[in-house]
Structure 1
Amino acid sequence: MPHRDHPRGTDNVLLDLGIEDAEELSAKAALALKFNELIDQRGLSQTEASAITGMTQPKVSQIRRYKLQNISLERLMQALVSLDQHVEIVVQPARREHMPGITVAA
């Protein structure tokens, strides 16, 4: 069987699949994951989470289901701050091992 060269992937599967706005979607997903973990840890209902974060219950529901198209990165960060989290944004020059782009560690 002949050996085929496969293109090397990145750490972002959405980017590898050629999805438009892959970096933003990945960042949103990471923030939503942390948001959902906090809601679960605190045993909050969607109504309680909406009261704490200032979002409507349908917006909380969207985040709970990872339907993030109509949720901004800023809104997700504000929701995390409302849940007593510190959100830090770091801008630094891209290096060889880190391609230019957006990374979220939550």
Structure 2
Amino acid sequence: MKAALALKLNELIDQRSLNQTEVATITGMSQPKVSQVRRYKLLNISLERLMLALVSLDQHVEIVVQPAQKPQKAGLTVIA
């Protein structure tokens, strides 16, 4: 899940041609944390932090919990 959210975050950063300092200012993350996200070094980055960063870049993040259907196994899916 973290990788999928980081991928979307990095896509937005690239699309908007933002540098790491600008991303840090917009998202409230430190520049070293932004650098970690840019390099997909996500061990010290929480799922919540990634979601909040996406929200600060005008994205809607939605978590849906529902019973698994018979053909579909229980699990997690991220659509970004």
Fold shared, TM-score > 0.5 on shorter chain: yes
Map of 1:29 onto structure 2: 3
Following superposition of structure 1 onto structure 2, how do residues 42-61 of structure 1 map, counting pairs within 5 Å? 42-61=16-35
Alpha-carbon shift at residue 101 of structure 1 (Å): 1.5
Percent identical: 76
Cα distance in 2 between the residues matched to 1:40 and 1:56? 18
After superposition, the C-alpha distances for 1:50-104 in whole angstroms (9 at most, x for unaligned) are 0000000000000000011111111100000000000011111012332212111
Q: Unpaired runs of 5+ in structure 2? A: none
C-alpha distance in 2, partners of 1:98/1:72? 27
Q: Which amino acid aligns with 2:66?
A: Q
Aligned to 1:96: 70
Between the two structures, name the one with larger relative contact order (CA 8 Å, sep ≥ 6): 2
State the superposition RMSD in angstroms: 0.8
Number of residue pairs matched by the alignment:
80
| Structure 1 unaligned spans of 5+ | 1-26
Which TM-score applies when normalising by structure 1?
0.73
Instruction: State which structure, 1 or 2, has the greater radius of gyration over its C-alpha atoms.
Output: 1
Provide, for residues 17-70 of structure 1, a one-character-per-residue CA deviation record: whole Å limited to 9, x for no partner: xxxxxxxxxx11110000000000000000000000000000000000001111
Note the 1:9-20 alignment, pairs <5 A.
none
